[in-house]
Structure 1
Amino acid sequence: MSISSGAVPALGHSLDISSTQPTPFGRLVRVELRKTWDTRAGFWLLLSIAALTAVVMVIQLSVVVVQDITVTYNDFLTSTNFSVAVLLPILGILLLTSEWSQRTAMVTFSLEPRRPLVIVSKLVVGVGLALAAVLVALVLATVCNALYGPLSGDTVTWDASFAQTGAFVLLQLIGMLTGFAFAALLLNSPAAIVIYMVYSFVLPGLFSLGAALIGWFEDLQPWIDFNFAQGPLVDATMTGKDWAHFATSGFIWLVLPLCIGVWRVLRAEVK
């Protein structure tokens, strides 16, 4: 069968890649969001954040009712900080390191060679999931505080101010972003998780010990210990000096690792 001469230009025109449109940013975000629960690790991590937060709230409600302890809405909200704050950074880590640990970076950066957009889309997904986790925590704290009144017979107190709620949201975003920064810096899930755990649970103790034993280090600690600098933020009692401590230590432990990590991702060889 022969092909007419008129069919060839038509075929060539249909295969003209110069008219191919770039991938919309919204589609990149949807793809990265889908990746968070497509894998076993991502699915169970998302489920664990919600389940662990709920378990912590139920245990707290049971204890305060049985022991006849007076609590407020802010107490319930504060108790969710531990479960959410521990797991959200791991989510931030897996968002980025999964490309290398699961060896999908070649496919991702081949389909979308604009690496900055891929990084930003992952960051948008991380922020969105962090806000979703915060919303779950707020709902659970509201439910538990509402149940506390009938179960204990005490007056229900709704004492969380806008500043306290905003500080709670900011703390969770900082935790996720710190995990994301360590992930970009190391591009390895186990290493990033270990380093984050050391940063969160070992370094604060070492810094406190140094402040207790060395006089001049006590004055230096707020400027270099990001966890310590976030203390007043938990109580929403930040002053101008506290914000200076927060900004300086945050630059050391969040901004600087994030910038170096993003630079590394942009230049990393994909194998």
Structure 2
Amino acid sequence: MTTLTPDAAAPAVPDTISFSRLVRVEFRKSWDTRASFWLLFAIGAIVLIAELIAAIVTGVQDVDDVQFGTFATVAGFISQLLLPVLGIMLVTSEWSQRSAMVTFSLEPRRSLVVQAKMVVGLVWTALTVLFALVMGALFNLLYGAIAGHVDWSGGAGVTGFIITQTIAMLLGFALAALLLNTPAAIVIYFAYLFALPTILAIGSALMDWFKSFAEWINFSDAQNHLYDGFWNMTGSEWGKLIVSGCIWFLLPLAIGLRRILRAEVK
């Protein structure tokens, strides 16, 4: 009969997975499926086409007051539609593809997995913004070649573009954490983006008291002031941005994170 030495009898302690490794894994997972790859490709392609159309139309029509910030706004409208879908898919992929059990078995610290996904979303947002700004600069030069003059002003609009694109992705991320369902999160986001402003506008037109109330819950409209430069925003504008942001971003994110940490993995 043999006896085990203390070293042999002790169970092996698994190495702790570093946060940087989690980020690298989540980054790879964000583009190596067909859905995620074509979504990223669509963001770049549509931004490129939209910028080209804007440069040609404004140049041929000799539109006044076209500047670098104009092309940033064009790119912002396109990426604001698609970046939140990327944020949604980063979260819901674990549940829609039924890989949550594998992910959370390999890394039981669910909060770290969610943080890694958010970092990946911010990285893709930064890359998308950089691509859009580079394309904006190139097409601003193309417009200058067509119209005969180039205007590089509009820095406030560029700053607003960067901030609003980051908020858009994070909003999609928060809705995904709340619902854990890709179609539902996408529908709710587009309802927030298109249907909610219409409903609030109708309510404001029919009821005078509702107009001032709507300004405090319309997160999309509150962000428009960022395009004029956050340093130019008044206290009231900051208040409306913060209050509406708490309603549409912080509250869903907090509830969603609690749900992810407590959800039964199947």
TM-score w.r.t. the length of structure 1 is 0.93
Q: Distance in 2 between matches of 1:240 and 1:199?
A: 25
**Structure 2 counterpart of 1:30, from 21, 24, 30:** 24
Q: Tell me which residue corresponds to 2:33.
A: 39
**Structure 2 counterpart of 1:102, from 75, 97, 102:** 97
Give the partner amino acid of 2:103: T
Q: Tell me which residue corresponds to 2:72.
A: 77
Q: Tell me which residue corresponds to 2:226.
A: 233
Residue 133, structure 1, aligned to residue 128, structure 2:
yes
- What is the RMSD computed on CA atoms of the aligned residues? 1.8
Residue 12, structure 1, aligned to residue 44, structure 2:
no
Q: Tell me which residue corresponds to 2:178.
A: 185
Secondary structure, in 3 states, of the residue corresponding to 2:216?
helix
> After the TM superposition, which residues 1-271 of structure 1 pair with which residues of structure 2 at under 5 Å, given as runs?
12=8, 16-18=11-13, 20-70=14-64, 71-153=66-148, 155-161=149-155, 163-236=156-229, 237-271=232-266
Q: Distance in 1 between matches of 2:169 and 2:260?
A: 18
Q: Percent identity?
A: 49
**Aligned-pair distance for 1:10?**
10
Q: Distance in 2 between matches of 1:159 and 1:74?
A: 7
Q: Distance in 2 between matches of 1:112 and 1:165?
A: 39
Q: Distance in 1 between matches of 2:97 and 2:170?
A: 21
Secondary structure, in 3 states, of the residue corresponding to 1:224?
coil
Report the number of matched residues: 263
Q: Distance in 2 between matches of 1:185 and 1:263?
A: 9
Q: Distance in 1 between matches of 2:204 and 2:55?
A: 36
Secondary structure, in 3 states, of the residue corresponding to 2:16?
coil
Secondary structure, in 3 states, of the residue corresponding to 1:113?
coil
1:148-192 deviation per Cα after TM superposition (whole angstroms, max 9, x unaligned) = 212222x2111022x432221110011001100110000000011
Q: Distance in 2 between matches of 1:93 and 1:103?
A: 15
Secondary structure, in 3 states, of the residue corresponding to 1:156?
coil
- Gaps spanning 5+ residues in structure 1: where? none
**Aligned-pair distance for 1:9?**
5.0
Give the partner amino acid of 2:91: L
